[in-house]
Chains A and B, each alone.
Chain A
Amino acid sequence: MAKVVIKDSPYNLKKAKILDVKTLTEKEKLFKLVFEDKTWLDFEPGQFIMVSLMGIGEIPVSICSSPLNRHYFEICVRAVGKVTNSLHKLKTGDIIGVRGPYGNGFPIKMIEGHDLLIIAGGLGIAPLRSLILYSIDNRRDFGEIHILFGCKTPGELLFEDEIEEWGKRLDIHFACTVDRADPDWKGNVGLITSLIPGVDIDPLRTYAAVVGPPVMYKFVIKELLAKGLPVDQILLSFERHMKCGMGKCGRCQIQNLYCCKDGPVFTFKEIMDMAEAL
Chain B
Amino acid sequence: MSKPKVAFFDFACCEGCQLQVANIGESLLDILDIIQVVEFREVMSEKWDGEFDVSFVEGSITDEHAVERIKKIRERSKILVALGSCATIGGVNGMKNCFPLEEVGKYVYGESYKFFPTLQTKAVHQVVPVDYFINGCPVYQPEFITVLKCILQGIPYYVPEYPVCVECKLNENVCMYDRGLTCMGPVTKAGCNSWCINNGNICYGCRGLTINPNTEGFKEVLKKYNIPEDFLMKKIEMYNKCRELDKQ
- Which A residues are within 8 Å of any B CB, using their own CB? 55-56, 82, 85-86, 89
Classify the interface of chain B: helix, strand, loop or mixed: loop
- Tell me if B29 counts as interface (CB < 8 A to partner A): no
Interface string of B30-68 (1 = CB under 8 A from A): 000000000000000000000000000000000000000
- Which B residues are within 8 Å of any A CB, using their own CB? 153-156
Complex-state Cα separation, A55 to B150, whole angstroms? 9
Complex-state Cα separation, A89 to B155, whole angstroms? 12
Complex-state Cα separation, A55 to B154, whole angstroms? 11
A82 — nearest CB in chain B belongs to which residue? B155
- Can you name 10 A-B residue pairings with CB atoms under 8 Å? A55-B153, A56-B153, A56-B155, A82-B155, A82-B156, A85-B155, A86-B153, A86-B154, A86-B155, A89-B154
Complex-state Cα separation, A82 to B155, whole angstroms? 6
Complex-state Cα separation, A166 to B156, whole angstroms? 39
Within 8 Å CB of B153, what residues of A?
55-56, 86
Complex-state Cα separation, A82 to B153, whole angstroms? 11
B158 — nearest CB in chain A belongs to which residue? A82
Q: Tell me the minimal C-beta distance from B150 to chain A in angstroms.
A: 9
Complex-state Cα separation, A266 to B104, whole angstroms? 64
A83 — nearest CB in chain B belongs to which residue? B155
Within 8 Å CB of A55, what residues of B?
153
Given contacts A85-B155, A89-B154, 8 further A-B contacts (CB under 8 A): A55-B153, A56-B153, A56-B155, A82-B155, A82-B156, A86-B153, A86-B154, A86-B155
A55 — nearest CB in chain B belongs to which residue? B153
Within 8 Å CB of B155, what residues of A?
56, 82, 85-86
Within 8 Å CB of A85, what residues of B?
155
Choose among B153, B154, B155, B156 the residue with the greatest number of A CB atoms under 10 Å from its CB. Answer: B155
